[in-house]
Amino acid sequence: MTSSALQYLPARGSAPNQEILPLTARVNDQDSLEIGGCSIDSLVQKHGSPLYIVDEVTLRTAAQQYKQAWQKYYPGESLVIYASKAWNCLAICHIVTSEGLGIDVVSGGELLTALQAGAKPQQIYFHGNNKGVNELQLAIDKGCNIVVDNWWEIETLSTLATAQPVSIMLRLTPGIECHTHEYIRTGHLDSKFGFDPTRIDELFTYLSKQTQLRCIGLHAHIGSQIFEQQPHQDLAAVMVGWFTKAHTYGLPVSEINVGGGLGVKYTENDDPQSIDTWVQGVAAALEAACKEASLTPPRVISEPGRSLVANSCVTAYTIGSNKEVPGIRRYLAVDGGMSDNPRPITYQSVYRCVAATKMSAPCTEIVTVAGKHCESGDVLIHNASLPPTQPGDILVVPVTGAYNYSMASNYNRIPRPAAVLVKDGNSDVIIDRETYADLVKHDQLPERLR
C-alpha cells in the first residue's frame, strides 16, 4: 500500500525531538496541513514563501521537558541553557528565557540578542574558540559567564579583568568519540575546541594564582546529533575526575557543564532517545561518578540546541518548474534552497517533505527536490516521495528550526525568508522577510567609479 504524508503526524504525548512534524500538526477538512491552528497554505498566502513556521507549543514543550527531567532525576541543582547558535533571534531567545532557561552564546551579536530578549547576564554562558577582545570586554561589562577555550583567551582575560573578578568555566577536550558527522564531533582530542587535558595540571596551577579570574566550573561537549547514550555516560566520569582535581588546586569550581548533543528525528529512520531518557541517563552517570568520588553532586548544566528548536519549525516553499531526465530522475524546483537550508549541501543532511494541501493523497512519485540557486549541488531532498504536484503547490520540509535560519545566506543575492510564530490560530512575524533594498543597503560605490 502506498503511504501518504499522514505517517508524519505526531503521536500524542511524545517528545518533540522524536517527531518529524511539530506537536500541533494536524490535517483539516480540506486535507491541508495545519500547525499551531494555522493552515500552511493560508500562511503562505499571507506571508509569502519560502517561510519558516515556528510552533510555539513544540518549542515550549521541549524546554519544559528538559527542566522537568533534570529536576526529576538529578539530586543536585540543575540549569538548562539553550545553545542559541541553533537559532538566535529575539523571539526564540525570549521564549526559552521565559521558560526559565539560560542562554549559550558564541558571539557578541548573539550575546546582545540574548540580553535584549530578557536573558539574565548570570545565566548567559559565552562560548567560542576565538572570541575577540571586544567581545570578551562586552561579556565582562555585562556580567556574563565566559567559557574559556584556550591559553590565549585565559591570558587575555587576565589583563582585561581589572574591576572585579570574572566568572569563567574551562572547556576541556575529553577525547570521547561518538558516531555523528565529522564536522560536528567536538569531543575527540583532535579538535579546534577546548584545552588539551594533558596540560590540565599546568592550567589549574595558572588559575590558582589569578585572583581576577574566578573559575566556577568545567565544560565539555562531545558533539551534535548523537543517538548513543554511552558517550555521555563516559563523559560524566571524566568530568567528575577533573572536577575533583580542580578542588585540590583550590579552585572554587561548583558547576559541571555536560554540553548537549541529543539527536532529533529528521526521517523515519532516525530513532533518537527522548529528552526524558537522555537526561535520566546522564543524571544517573553523574550521580554514580560523584558517589564513587565521595563528592556531593555539583550544579549541572546542559546545553540543548538542536533538540530544543529543530522539530518546532517547518519551512514552506512554493513549487515552480520541473524537469524530467528520462530513465534517471525528475527534478522538482522550489523557490528556496541552499540559502535558507544549507545543511544538505554542507552536511549531506537528509530531510522529508509533504505536499501541504494533499496530506492524505498517496505518494506515488519519487522526485528530487531542487533549489533555485545557480549551483548543481543545490538539492534539498533526493528521492522524495510525493503525490502528483503542480506548479504553485506548497511543499513543506519539517525539522528546519536548527541551523537553517542561523546559517542562511544571501547566495545569488536572494533575500532571506521571513519567520512566523504560530499558536492557537494566530501567526506573528518574528523575522521580517528581507527585501532587495536590504541586500544593497551596505554596498558602497566609490566616487571615482561614478
Read off the pLDDT of residues 316-364 as tens digits, 9 standing for 90 and up.
999 999 999 999 999 999 999 999 999 999 999 999 999 999 999 999 9
Q: Please indicate, yes or no, if residue 136 is contained in any of the structural domains.
A: yes
Q: Do 258 and 329 fall into the same domain? A: no
Q: Rounded mean pLDDT of the chain?
A: 93
Query: Grid coordinates representing 200?
Result: 590540565
pLDDT digits (tens, 9 = 90+) for 387-398: 999 999 999 999
The per-residue pLDDT for range 23-81, each reduced to its tens digit, is: 999 999 999 999 999 999 999 999 999 999 999 999 999 999 999 999 999 999 999 99
Give the model confidence (pLDDT) of 265-275 as tens digits. Answer: 999 999 999 99
For strands 313-325 and 51-55, give the pairing: antiparallel
Alpha-carbon distance of 187 to 185, in angstroms, equals 6
Q: Are residues 219 and 85 in the same domain?
A: yes
**What pLDDT was estimated at residue 1?**
42
Three-state DSSP class for residue 418: strand
CATH of the domain at 182: 3.20.20.10
Residues involved in catalysis:
374
Same-domain status, 116 and 241: yes
Give a yes or no: residue 410 inside a domain. Answer: yes
pLDDT score at 190: 55
Identify whether residues 367 and 324 lie together within a single domain.
yes
345: domain range? Answer: 5-54+310-439
**What are the distances in angstroms from CA 185 to CA 182, 277, 341?**
5, 22, 21
Q: What is the pTM of this model?
A: 0.94
Residue 177: what pLDDT? Answer: 53
All cell numbers assigned to 26: 494536524
Domain boundary among 304, 328, 358: 304
Query: Looking at the structure, do residues 241 and 322 belong to the same domain, yes or no?
Result: no
For residue 43, is it within any domain?
yes
H helices, E strands: number in the chain: 12, 20
Report the domain count for the chain: 2
Each residue of 27-40: pLDDT tens digit?
999 999 999 999 99
- For residue range 167-204, list pLDDT tens digits in order: 999 999 886 554 443 333 344 455 677 788 888 999 99
**What percent of the chain clears pLDDT 70, i.e. is strictly above it?**
96
Is 350 in the same domain as 219?
no
CATH number, position 36: 2.40.37.10
Identify the pLDDT of residue 233: 80
Q: How many CA atoms lie within 13 A of 355 on its CB side?
A: 27
Q: Are 300 and 314 part of one and the same domain?
A: no
Alpha carbons 51 and 325: distance in angstroms, whole number: 29
Structural domain includes residue 375:
yes
Same domain as 178, residue 78: yes
Domain endpoint, select from 252, 278, 304: 304
- Does residue 282 lie within any of the structural domains? yes
CB 322 within 8 A of CB 333: yes
Domain end residue (candidates: 304, 322, 349): 304
